[in-house]
Structure 1
């Protein structure tokens, strides 16, 4: 049931748009193109299995884990304060 100027399903449309934006953002950060034989951060060899599993890989496992931790700690997204979490 919609109220005011919002049409039926407007809340779900907003949630869907938020999810689709997050998916597009995550896909844009995926590596693509030819991968590297050596890590661009520490110059360690990247194993063949990793290069086959992740096309376009540019970092070794250790450097990728460090980058992921850094990005997670720098995230400014507050799930508790988001409107999506309040709607559930």
Structure 2
């Protein structure tokens, strides 16, 4: 059922576009190239299994977890909230 001027699949289209944008951004941010043997931030050795699993890895697991936690708090919805679309 359509509401207002939006088409029947408008909400799902917006959800799909948001997911596609997030996937594209994540793929662009994947490391590439040769993996480091030591963490770029703390200098700890990076386990061989991690280096093989992630080409171009630069950080140990602990430093990567800290960076990921910091990044999770800085995300935002670039398409705007539902309330901003209704104004």
Settle same-fold status: TM greater than 0.5.
yes
1:6 aligned partner: 6
Runs of 4+ in 1 over 4 A off after TM superposition: none
Query: 1:49–1:76: structure 2 CA closer, same or farther, 3 Å change rule?
Result: closer
CA drift at 1:76: 4.2
- Measured in 2, the distance between the counterparts of 1:59 and 1:12 equals 37
1:69 and 2:73 matched: no
RMSD of equivalent CA atoms: 2.2
Structure 1 length-normalised TM: 0.73
1:2-61 deviations in whole A, cap 9, x for unaligned? 345433322221111111111111222211111111111112211111101111100011
The count of corresponding residues between Structure 1 and Structure 2 is 80
Q: Distance in 2 between matches of 1:76 and 1:29?
A: 14
Q: TM-score w.r.t. structure 2 length?
A: 0.73
Unaligned runs of 5+ in 2: 83-87
- Per the alignment, in what secondary structure is the counterpart of residue 69 of structure 2? helix
